[in-house]
Structure formats: C-alpha cells, structure tokens
Structure 1
Amino acid sequence: MTDVIHNLLSKDELRTISSGLFSAQFSDGKMSGGVLGAELKNNTQVPPSSPQYRELSELVLGAIRKNDKLNARAIPRRILSPIFNSYTKDQEYRKHVDAAMMGPYPGMRTDLSITIFLNDPDAYKGGELVLETPFGEKEYKLPPGDAVLYPTHYVHHVNKITKGRRLAAVTWIESMVPDPQRREVLVDLGEAAEILVRDKGDIEVIMKLEKGRLNLLRMWTST
C-alpha cells in the first residue's frame, strides 16, 4: 500500500530546513548506499556530523510522529534518523531495493520507506521517484512538504535530473504490525468507522468496528 501524505511539513518547518540545507556541506551519497549502492547511487547528502544535521533531523522526526494519517498507516515502532539528499544535473539513483535492516547493530527492520519532497518541483526537471508496485510503475514528484509512504521491499529509482536541483529527505520505519496486509485491514476498519462518525451512523455499529480494530491491533502488534 502506497500513500501520499500531504503537508507533512509545514511552511515554517520547510523554511527552517531550506535555511539549514543552504548552509550545510554535502558529501558523496555513496556513503549510505552499501555495496550495490556504490554502483547505483549518484547524489550527495548531509553527513550526520554536520552542525545542521541534528536540528533538521529532529524537526523531520517530530513532524512524522505527530502526523495522524502517517501513524495510522505505519503504526511505527521505531523511525530512523532521516537522510537529506540532493540531486543535480545528471545525477540519479538507479533501480534498487532498500536494505532490510538498517541502523546501529543489531539493526532495525525496515518495513516502510518515506520520501519527503523539500523544494518546488518546478525547480528541477526529472527527479521523479518511481515505484514498481503490484499495479505497475507509479511516479511521484510532489510539492514541498508532501511525502510518499511505501513498502520498503518495492523496487524503486529516482530519475536522472536534467536541470536544476532536487532536495528530499528519506527515512525508514519499523512497524509494530510487520505484515502489510494486516496494516491495510486496520486502516480500512479505522476509515470505515470515521465515515460512519462523519455521516452520523449508528453508534453501536461504530463501537463494534472500533472494538474489532483495537482487538486485531492487540493480536497483531509486535513490540
């Protein structure tokens, strides 16, 4: 299941991030690409040792934690600190699958990936995030502050930039409900209850739906 999260970052948060990235030093993105990434990845990123990194990272993580839609879909257990990357002319990230485990030893399982767009799509040509989903390829090039949440096991790539500069933040989530089909069931039940509440539906039906959703969450949660 792939979701677009609109306005994950506010305008004020985007201004803070833009200012921080403007003054930050970027390093070769191959540093986080692993063995295969060194051959497939051509971009730059802000190193965690950068003076700006901690503030920007905490800002993005805070926005993720307080977003109701994202949390309902991801049910996060842990979230990795984000990578802030930049693509300029002729840079790209060819087809790849993100690592199953990331972070310090023993690592964190990566169930979901998030790409957050940080600058205006008119500022660059190319640079679309392309996901290979069960329903075919889907391309994303979103306004600043919007994000795409998608299963980490999807093959994906970033198209080559032909003009301008693309800025984005990416991070990964370990879900308390590892099975994507179970997460989808929980989302569907929650949305059904919300529709009934909005339409002033039968309160008994709403309560039974919510009871079922919460009991399934208890059964399926791995903490």
Structure 2
Amino acid sequence: MDLFSPIISQNVAINGLPNRTIKSALVSVIPKKSLFYDQGYLEQQFQEVVLMRILFKQSLVIFWFLWWAFAFLTDFIGGLELLGVTSTPWFDGHNFPFLQKTLAQFGASTAVDVIIFVGIILWLFLSTLLFAFASFTPYSRTDRWQKRVDAAFIVSLGLWLAFFLADQTVMNFDLEENHMVQGGFQLLCYLTIHLLPD
C-alpha cells in the first residue's frame, strides 16, 4: 500500500497527459529503493506500448485499403461483365442492376445509370489508390504518413456521404442504414488514429 499510494495520490494530476509526462511522473513517485524502480524496465514497457499503438494504427489503414480494394473490384468486374468483356459465374455483380431498378422510379435513362455507376467505380478506385499510398508509407515519416491517411479517409468518407444523400433521396432506408453502419465504423477508425496517442 505504501508503494502505490504516491501514484494514487497523483492520479488526478497525470490524467490526460502524454505518455512522456506520465512516465516521468511514475519514475518520480516510485521509491528509488523499491524493486519496481528500474529505469530501463520502464523505458522498455513504454516503448512496447508505443509500438503496439503504431502497429494498431497501421493495421486500421491496411484494413481499409483491403476493404476499398474489394469494393472497387466488385463493381469493376461487374461492369466488365455487363460489357461482355469477361464472364465469371462465381461472381455476382448485382450493383448495377440494383442501381437501374432504384433509379427507374425517377425515369432515369440507361445513360444516366451508366454515368453514375462509372462515377462510383472511379471514386472507389481513387479511395483504394489513396489507401494504398498511405499503407505503403513508412510511419517513420510521420508527417507524410498522416497527410496520406487524412487524404484517404476524407475522400472515401465523402463517398459515404454521397451514398447517404442518395439513399435519402430514393427513400431506401434499409440501404441507408447499412451504409451508415459501414461509414460510421470507418469514421470511428479515423478518429481512433487521430485521438490515440503514440
């Protein structure tokens, strides 16, 4: 109890402070004669925590790179099938037919359907490309990594916002709920990367 009471007494003072400040506070309050006082050990523990947080952030970026890559390939292959360029019986590219059915109630022509579908594919490709750049950027170049991560998340989140507005316009609330869950999860990942300290 005597060993940890100084730490407990300073809990309010160190809450919300950066790791470096917390580490200094812990070192200053732990009695130097204690078995727990080991500068090298504390340094190692904090380095491991920092490494885990960095790897977690990088994993989130890689996850969304893979997610957007699969989303792009789904619509891209679906578009090739519609053009008769390829045939994949195992692949169910139903997004374009669903888009046509949804816009039919507004009397949209095939040309409008194609333009919107191509626009979605291009947006998906851009999102995938930006996440690829972010994923392959070393974290040691922190400023460049952060800028590329910001660009990837902002551009792809913009597509979710476009989906939200489209779903609301055609009053497809089930699809809107699905998009909001996925878009909300991506926004949560983005906030985690920014708010979780190194």
> Which protein is bigger by CA-based radius of gyration?
2
TM-score where L is the length of structure 2: 0.30
| Higher RCO, Cα 8 Å, sep 6+ | 1
